[in-house]
């Protein structure tokens, strides 16, 4: 299937909404707004719990739609992207989660009305897809502190604090964090093996934003065909506070002691084995092979967005 160059070129659009997402209280309203914006919606699916998502997406993909609009948080959208990758079906995004970092990367507006308009009037571009032991991610995969943050991001905390919940959860997670050993191997031979005896966090970025607006690095992009890898070592609290102040623009990777590399394939081994956070969802564990699929997903972005181009 050849991707459409504009969202309005679609002949058949399916809508999949995660009813458990923070801002998905009115899924019927979202569908109504999409229809009014001019999208030819032919089927609507409300996912009540995470276990329903794989089967729902499988049926939707088999339906042969030109576009699948997914409403939910980053974890829901990333999983959907993994199902759509390589099919030629275009992905549309309704940012209904807490952080909506993918929408921020792609310059998709957060308001429901504006997001629906951007979908109807938008253009189709290519973005890369990251894989961690085969599991898909669009923003960032990480091990260490971020897993503790995810574990402390209760639905209640996200509901009352929104994106600010990430900061509260980070403070709580930091107080309980235990350092770990990590080894970064590069099967393609573009870097030598790194042995890291005391680590706070290792992250592998495909996109630019994660964690409620933080940047992976100053140069990270979701269509640059490379993974940005960083490792923050154990250090006194004052140094971690300095690093935290630089998370928004990604310039923390330039501080002494912070490791930052780019690659297409990296293998992470830790002692002990640790869970891996993929766009806010715990999906696999170390050892983990991280790879990138170039131009794997066709996605709708606003006409004025410069986040990516269609070059696949």
- Active site members: 281
Tokens coding 15: 């809508």
CA dihedral 268, 84, 300, 42 (to 10 degrees): -150
Q: Is the C-alpha dihedral spanning 114, 115, 121, 123 positive or negative?
A: positive
Residue matched to tokens 């809508």:
15
Contact (Cβ atoms closer than 8 angstroms) between residue 12 and residue 42: yes
Token code pair at residue 182? 């990590």
Dihedral over Cα of 31, 47, 64, 102: its sign: positive
Contacts of 299 (CB under 8 A, 6+ apart): 81, 90, 91, 92, 93, 106, 124, 125, 126, 127, 308
With both helix axes pointing from N to C terminus, report the angle between 112-121 and 27-37 in degrees, rounded to the nearest 10.
40
Per-residue CA distances from 304 to 30, 39, 77, 308 (Å): 23, 19, 22, 11
- What distance in Å separates the CA atoms of residue 24 and residue 307, rounded to the nearest whole number? 26
Count CB atoms within 10 A of the CB of residue 303.
10
């Amino acid at each position: 299937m050849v991707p459409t160059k504009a969202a309005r070129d679609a002949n058949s659009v399916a809508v999949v909404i995660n009813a458990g997402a923070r801002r998905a209280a009115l899924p019927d309203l979202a569908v109504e707004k999409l229809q009014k914006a001019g999208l030819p919606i032919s089927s609507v699916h409300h996912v009540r719990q995470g276990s329903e998502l794989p089967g729902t997406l499988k049926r939707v993909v088999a339906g042969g739609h030109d576009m699948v609009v997914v409403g939910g948080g980053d974890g829901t959208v990333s999983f959907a992207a993994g199902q759509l990758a390589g099919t030629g079906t275009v992905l549309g995004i309704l940012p209904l989660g807490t952080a909506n970092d993918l929408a921020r990367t792609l310059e998709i507006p957060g308001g429901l009305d504006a997001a629906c308009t951007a979908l109807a009037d938008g253009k189709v571009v290519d973005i890369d897809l990251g894989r961690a032991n085969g599991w898909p991610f669009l923003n960032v995969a990480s091990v260490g502190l971020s897993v503790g943050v995810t574990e402390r991001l209760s639905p209640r905390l996200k509901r009352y604090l929104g994106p600010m919940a990430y900061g509260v959860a980070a403070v709580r997670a930091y107080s309980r964090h235990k350092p770990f050993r990590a080894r970064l191997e590069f099967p393609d031979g573009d870097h030598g093996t790194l042995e890291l005896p005391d680590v706070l966090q290792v992250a592998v970025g495909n996109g630019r934003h994660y964690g409620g607006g933080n940047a992976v690095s100053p140069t990270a992009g979701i269509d640059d065909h490379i993974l940005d890898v960083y490792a923050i070592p154990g250090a006194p609290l004052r140094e971690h506070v300095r690093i935290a102040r630089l998370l928004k623009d990604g310039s923390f990777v330039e501080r002494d002691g912070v490791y930052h590399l780019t690659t297409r394939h990296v293998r992470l081994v830790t002692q002990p084995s640790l869970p891996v956070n993929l766009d806010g969802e715990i999906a696999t564990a170390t050892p983990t092979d991280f790879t990138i699929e170039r131009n794997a997903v066709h996605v709708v972005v606003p006409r004025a967005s410069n986040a990516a181009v269609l070059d696949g």
